[in-house]
Amino acid sequence: MMLRSTLLIAYVVAIALALGIQWLLGGISGVIFLAICGLIYLFRLRRHHSATLKWACQPASAPPPDLGMFDEIVTPVYKYARTRQNEYTALRELTTNVLSAAQALPAAAVTLDKSFQIEWCNAQSQRLLDLVYEKDRGYNIFNIIRLPEFFDYAQSRQWSRPLRSRREIGGQLCSLQFQLTQHANEGYLLLCQDITQLEKLQTTQRDFVANVSHEIRTPLTVLIGFLETMRDLPHEALTKEQRKQYEELMHEQAQRMLAIVADLLTLSTLESTEIVEGTQVQLAPIIDKAAVQAQSISRESHEFEFDVDPDLAVVGQMNELSSAVTNLLTNAVRYTPEGGKITIRWSANEHGEAVFSVTDTGLGIEKKDIPRITERFYRVDKSRSRASGGTGLGLAITKHIVIRHNAKLVVDSEINKGSTFRIVFPEEIVVQEKKGDHKRDDSHLVEDAAT
């Protein structure tokens, strides 16, 4: 409206000037003046038109400051283009973020059209489903995932519950969980997760509950059986020797249940608490104390050999390290036949690490069992495990203590030749003191063994 008023005023002024010139000069001077004004106007109009056309090729850019009568057209178009450009930028950023998040998913994500043809997939799809976006886009998903149960699941349209199946990945049989959902535009989203570890954890949990029930139920049944016998029989029916024997057996079973509960509480504490700042711990005295206990259990049935560096220490928790050392020594005694040899070493290796090792000449462990011996209640030799007196939790406790000290538990074993258990402490927590700062006296070990 303002532009039209300005043009109207310009026209009126031009005509007034032309009439004035015509009156003063006469002839056709007024007409010539109007013609010149018209040419100037046409020239400016042409220049504005060219600038407008040039701007129209990039409407998101700022228009020239003077477009004359085209300003009324360019300004709203520019504002609209800027709004759409901002919306497009925001949408592109959102899309990029969504795609980045989808790429970071630990699960395979695949979008499908209504015919189950692949539209997009993330990086995990290649590992779990052998899908490559550039190569497989547009292919039907059933040509890639050739599992009959997945085809039936997809065609059933009953997707409230996921499908679990097995598939070989990298030469290993893995458990996969498929979940299909429908999204906009009549398309589908397929999520596939590797739940192999989850299934292992669930199996371990079920085994743990069953083992705890079994381990506690057995001594409890024995205890109840003796109590019922003593309750139902007349007092005079049992001699003092029999009653004493029953009481000792009941006490033994009660102690066994107490040991299991104590180890479970220890294991729970190790799993649920953070390790506090450690102190310098001399392992030699701890080994001495554990050796006395092991020799007591052995009752002179085994030969013990020691190679312990009294000047070697580590930064850690004394109580936890004492528990780990004791567990390894008592296990060696329990699983080594009479007359066997047990060698205890504590020294630094060539890499600056501190290594505590217990080597026995016992029954040995099969290679397939070695990865599982640190599981709770896992028994390598189930026929004699209970007779050995262990709770089945010692190595599980030891493993957690080792982890809490950033160390490694290494097991080497051969059937009927023996086993070696090593705790390897990293160099950064090892302290090598000066020779002679700590003197170690092994005489009491010899005396204990002799008695």
Same domain, 309 and 405: yes
Domain assignment present for 44:
yes
Domain assignment present for 310:
yes
Same domain, 133 and 25: no
Assess contact for 353 and 430: CB atoms under 8 A.
yes
The C-alpha atoms of residue 346 and residue 265 are separated, in whole angstroms, by 29
Q: Tell me: the pLDDT tens digits for 116-148?
A: 999 989 988 888 888 888 888 899 999 988 889
Same domain, 145 and 19: no
Assess contact for 302 and 451: CB atoms under 8 A.
no
Domain assignment present for 99:
no
Domain assignment present for 202:
no
Q: What is the mean pLDDT of the chain?
A: 81
Q: Which long-range contacts (CB under 8 A, 24 or more apart) does 379-386 make?
A: 381/335, 386/218
Same domain, 337 and 443: yes
User: Which of 8-22, 173-187, 334-348 is predicted with the least confidence, judged by mean pLDDT?
Assistant: 8-22
Domain assignment present for 100:
no
Residue 274 has pLDDT above 80, yes or no: no
Q: What is the CATH number of the domain that holds 436?
A: 3.30.565.10
Give counts: helices (H), strands (E), the chain: 13, 13
Last residue of a domain, one of 223, 255, 270: 270
Beta-strand (E) ranges in 75-157?
108-112, 118-121
Same domain, 40 and 65: yes
Tokens 């262990």 sit on residue: 390
The C-alpha atoms of residue 310 and residue 432 are separated, in whole angstroms, by 9
Domain assignment present for 200:
no
Q: Tell me: the pLDDT tens digits for 305-352?
A: 999 999 899 999 888 899 899 989 988 998 888 889 999 999 998 888
How far, in Å, are 229, 230, 237, 248 from residue 234 at the CA level? 9, 8, 5, 20
Same domain, 282 and 419: yes
Same domain, 392 and 368: yes
The C-alpha atoms of residue 42 and residue 441 are separated, in whole angstroms, by 114
Same domain, 381 and 286: yes
Domain assignment present for 201:
no
Last residue of a domain, one of 45, 60, 94: 94
Same domain, 322 and 436: yes
Residue 75 has pLDDT above 60, yes or no: yes
pLDDT of residue 391: 63
The C-alpha atoms of residue 302 and residue 307 are separated, in whole angstroms, by 17
Residues spanned by the domain of 219: 207-270
Q: Tell me: the pLDDT tens digits for 241-257?
A: 888 888 888 888 888 78
The C-alpha atoms of residue 376 and residue 396 are separated, in whole angstroms, by 6
- Read off the pTM: 0.52
Same domain, 75 and 217: no
pLDDT of residue 6: 66
Same domain, 51 and 27: yes
pLDDT of residue 448: 43
pLDDT bin (cut points 50, 70, 90) of residue 276 is low
Q: How many CB atoms lie within 10 A of CB 389?
A: 14
Tokens 């979940």 sit on residue: 179
> φ, ψ for residue 364 (rounded to 5)?
85, 165
Q: Tell me: the pLDDT tens digits for 377-393?
A: 766 655 444 445 556 77
Q: What is the CATH number of the domain that holds 163?
A: 3.30.450.20
The C-alpha atoms of residue 416 and residue 413 are separated, in whole angstroms, by 9
Residue 303 has pLDDT above 80, yes or no: yes
Q: What's the mean pLDDT in 59-67?
A: 74
Same domain, 410 and 326: yes
Residue 172: strand pairing partners: 169
- When divided into structural domains, the chain yields a total of 4
pLDDT bin (cut points 50, 70, 90) of residue 150 is very high
Last residue of a domain, one of 246, 270, 294: 270
